Chains A and B, each alone.
Chain A
Amino acid sequence: MTVTIDKPAEVRAAIPLLAAHDLRVVFDSARGPVHAVRGVDLDLAAGEMLGIVGESGSGKSTTALALARMLPPAGRITGGSVLLDGDTDLVAASEAALTGVRGRRIGMVFQDPMTSLNPLLTVRRQLDEALRAHGFGDRGARRARSIELLELVGIPGARLRGYPHQFSGGMRQRVMIALALANRPDVLIADEPTTALDPTVQAQILELLDTLRRELGTAVLLITHNMGVVAERCDRVAVMYGGRVVEQGPVAEVLSAPRHPYTAGLLRAVPRLDTPAGTRLAGIPGTPPDLALPVLGCAFANRCTAAVDRCRTEQPDLAPVTDTARTACWVPSTEASAHPLEPIVRRAPDPTSPVLEVSGVSKTFRSRGRPAVSALTDVDLVLYPGETLGVVGESGSGKSTLARAIVGIHKPDRGVIRVAGKGRLAREVQMVFQDPYASLNPRMTVGDIVADPLHAQHIGTPLERRARVLELLERVGLDPAVASRFPRDFSGGQRQRIGIARALAPAPSVLICDEAVSALDVSVQAQVVNLLAELQADLGLALLFIAHDLAVVRSISHRIVVLREGRVVETGPADDLVAHPQDPYTKALLAAVPSPVPAAMRAAEAA
């Protein structure tokens, strides 16, 4: 046994249920081999919930897939071992042996509950198949077990005959979990199981996983990008960056006293509900490493403020920093880093005359053969110059319809939208879109994209437009030289900056951000939120900030409007609304936001 073990003393002698050692995965790509996982050590004890956190590209999902040898064809394990029960090496196992392991010993739950169930088969057939694959009893026994499984995950057994489309997203994820648990696996690998779900549903699914672990003793490997989820649900956490684990240990310890600068940075970037409103989020400057290129030294070194020369030449290994925690850093911080809360620059809104007024707006979508959907019902809101109005709500609350109605993409059935100011709507109201990959025309250069509203509205001479583009690019934190590049050369956060520059081009008085930071990793999200806050303070923009994440909305907004099923259920100053929610729905939303501060630590603080 060469597997390193770092668990509390009482279980140290035990052999971990699943242990990866120096696991390496390489993907073939058009740009050459990408070293997605570069030597990962992990171990999972029976009945334990281990969180793997990291941003996109950190290798967390690849690690999860590699553990069950389920990598897509382009990926292959190039080194290391994955020991099950301390003796079976899954890396070396035959495909036949693996078939016996998957489902029976290791169950998997994936991110998207909409596509991971077969739409042609009833839930019963899918459960039955999973059971039969491992030779579970006869027809009757399998049926009984299927009902038992559904009830275990909180679905009435009577729904066994249903097809996936008859279930909501959260229910489908429950079905997925039932499928994964069908053959009583010892390990459940859940890859972002709640990312596609609304916060209240996310809380239910996490609660379910927690219950199952306690009652069935199933060990859970929970892969997530959400620090709050880890803080609330996991026993231990492994933080991944650039294809390696950079820090590992008990949740309470790692999250309250992070030793690795990346963990500390990530924690600072997460918007929280328990810091004063208007606290500046601390983004981590720079972008993650390109794993198609060789990484010399610590992958985080070029974004790290504490980096020393050695960080750039020599790769640190996970080394114990306390009895229970390990970190891979040459200069780990020795004590809990108390980071100063820095207020964002905000300026008071000017409440004399609103710049945008929405009154009594309703919108119903009708399509043939389907019931009409009321996306907005009688929505009122006002926005003053220099103000940020946050709009929160879950999917289907009408947030996007509202944004699109304001910019004129959807025509409201009833009600009035009034924009104060000089003239054309397109000059006064601009919008930043959700998807950084879809919202930029791939065939246009960055310069042309930013100048597009100017061209479309015949603003300025070609020379003036050119100057304006360069000024805007610089304003959003991009090198003006990028104007001649195409969107594909940029990362998500950089593309979102380009989208912001485009929206600012005609010097609008209202900027609508429709989930503009939701698709970004937290460290980048923080950068973009800060950019928006600063632009607002400097330019006196009125900002309509739409998002499903209450914590992000609160960090930037003066006032917040809560939408539910197309109606405004509550509106009020950001701090009041979070501190003293009136509507039960607002309360439920607030309760569902997981805080990155471990419960144990909060209890200690309160005492």
Chain B
Amino acid sequence: MTAAVVTKAPVVAAPAKRARNPYVQGLLTPRGITGLIVVGLVVLLGLAAPLLTSYAPTFQTSNALLQPSGEHPLGTDEIGRDLWSRVLFGIRTDLIVVVSAVPLGALAGCLLALVSVASRWADVLVQRLFDVVLAFPGLILGLTVTAVLGAGTSTVIVVIAVVEAPAFGRMLRGAILSHREREYALAARVGGAGPARLLVRHILPNAADPLVVQIAVSLSIAVIVEGAMSFIGIGVRPPEPSLGSIVSGSVMHLQDHPIYAIGPLVAISAFVLGLNLLAEALNKGVRR
């Protein structure tokens, strides 16, 4: 290109502000840090379970319903198993369940969202499917699925995935539809981008923000769903410990042996609270 310089001097951008990832920015707030510490502590207890106890969670000592002692920090249950050990391994079970179920649900929901933005009639089908899932209370759905698949850890995972999928699906569908009409997306179309490039290169990176927040929300819901299913006996099967099944076992002894229930309940509450704090912090960061 020849002569005719456009402006006198090239315009230089303002000094770059420290460009920080919005998630990181959200997490580095008092709320985010508290959430990280609480969740981190619970996860650490679960991961390090074998190192923190000398009893296997299913090992039966001869002493049932012991009060807390140096030997058994949370006492023992009705058939003499060490509760400290059961709570730690229960956290472990919960971790396995929620960490496999939530991404599964997210994946299913997102794939369905992509199908539904691609075609109009698929959209109608997918949305009605989501309506059906959402119309069932979680536990009823859990019972139905258990009736088909039988009780067990994998059933809990399937139920959580099914319950969580619509939230991800609707959220991603809405975000794609709104981002598709923004000027930058129109600009990409004018520039010659086909539907695939438009979606992958332009829309998804911008539409994904709320999903990250939803993952944190869904994890906390998943902990509660697992607890509820195991509590009514259609979840993780004994003798394998899970937080829900320990609470279930403690109900008979709430009067005479309250310490039995406290361990698993504290773990569930801390886990859910921490995840909600993380979700809120991420949300703040994303919105800025």
Contact = CB atoms under 8 A, between A and B. Distances in A.
A476 B6 contact: yes
Contacts of B14: 287, 290, 489-491
Interface stretch (B117-125, B156-164, B182-190): B182-190
Given A489-B13, A502-B187, A538 B192 contact: no
Interface in B185-210: 186-194, 197, 201-202, 205-206
Interface in B6-23: 6-14, 16-17, 19
B4 interface: yes
Contacts of A105: none
Question: Is chain B's interface secondary structure helix, strand, loop, or mixed overall?
Answer: loop
A138 B7 CA distance: 65
Q: Of residues B182, B189, B190, B197, which shows the largest number of chain A Cβ atoms within 10 Å of its Cβ?
A: B190
Contacts of B69: none
Nearest to A527: B7
Contacts of B7: 285, 477, 527, 531
B145 to A, nearest CB: 37
A497 B183 contact: no
B62 interface: no
A457 B184 contact: no
B184 A475 contact: no
A456 B186 contact: no
B2 interface: yes
B192 A457 contact: yes
Given A434-B183, A538-B1, A452 B6 contact: no
Given A31-B17, A439-B184, A502-B187, A456 B8 contact: no
B10 A435 contact: no
Contacts of B184: 438-442
A232 interface: no
B170 to A, nearest CB: 21
A431 B17 CA distance: 29
A497 B11 contact: yes
Contacts of B8: 285
B187 A442 contact: no
Given A482-B13, A527-B7, A407 B183 contact: no
Given A442-B206, A456-B197, A489-B17, A426 B4 contact: no
A485 B16 contact: yes
Contacts of B183: 433-435, 438-439
Contacts of B197: 455-456
A424 interface: yes
B193 A456 contact: yes
A429 B11 CA distance: 27
A456 B194 contact: yes
Q: How large is the interface on A (under 10, 10 to 19, 20 to 34, 35 or more residues)?
A: 35 or more
B10 A479 contact: yes
A479 B190 contact: no
Contacts, number: 120
Contacts of A482: 12-13
Given A345-B4, A440-B184, A443-B206, A453 B191 contact: yes
B17 to A, nearest CB: 7
A430 interface: yes
Q: Of residues B8, B12, B19, B191, which shows the largest number of chain A Cβ atoms within 10 Å of its Cβ?
A: B191
A441 B1 contact: no
Nearest to B186: A409
A534 interface: yes
A518 interface: no
Contacts of A497: 11
Given A441-B184, A485-B16, A502 B191 contact: yes
B206 A534 contact: no
A265 to B, nearest CB: 14
A28 to B, nearest CB: 15
A204 to B, nearest CB: 31
A122 interface: no
Nearest to B187: A439
A481 to B, nearest CB: 8
Nearest to A427: B192
Interface string B1-45: 110101111111110110100000000000000000000000000
A468 to B, nearest CB: 11
Contacts of B206: 441-443
Interface in A456-485: 456-457, 471, 474-480, 482, 485
B1 to A, nearest CB: 6
B4 A409 contact: no
A206 B226 CA distance: 65
Contacts of A527: 7
Nearest to A471: B1
A324 interface: no
Contact of B13 (A441, A474, A494, A506): A494
A456 B17 contact: no
B19 A430 contact: no
Given A438-B183, A489-B16, A285 B192 contact: no
Nearest to B182: A438
A538 B2 contact: yes
Given A285-B9, A442-B206, A474-B10, A433 B17 contact: no
A152 B147 CA distance: 73
Nearest to A482: B13
A499 interface: yes
B190 A431 contact: yes
A486 interface: yes
Given A503-B190, A505-B191, 6 more contacts: A407-B189, A409-B189, A433-B187, A453-B193, A479-B10, A493-B11
23 contacts: A285-B8, A408-B189, A424-B192, A427-B192, A429-B190, A433-B187, A438-B182, A440-B184, A443-B206, A452-B191, A452-B193, A452-B201, A456-B191, A475-B6, A477-B11, A478-B10, A478-B11, A489-B17, A491-B14, A494-B13, A497-B11, A502-B187, A502-B191
Interface of A: 31, 285, 287, 290, 345, 404, 407-409, 424, 426-427, 429-431, 433-435, 438-444, 452-453, 455-457, 471, 474-480, 482, 485-486, 488-491, 493-494, 497, 499, 502-503, 505-506, 527, 531, 534-535, 537-538
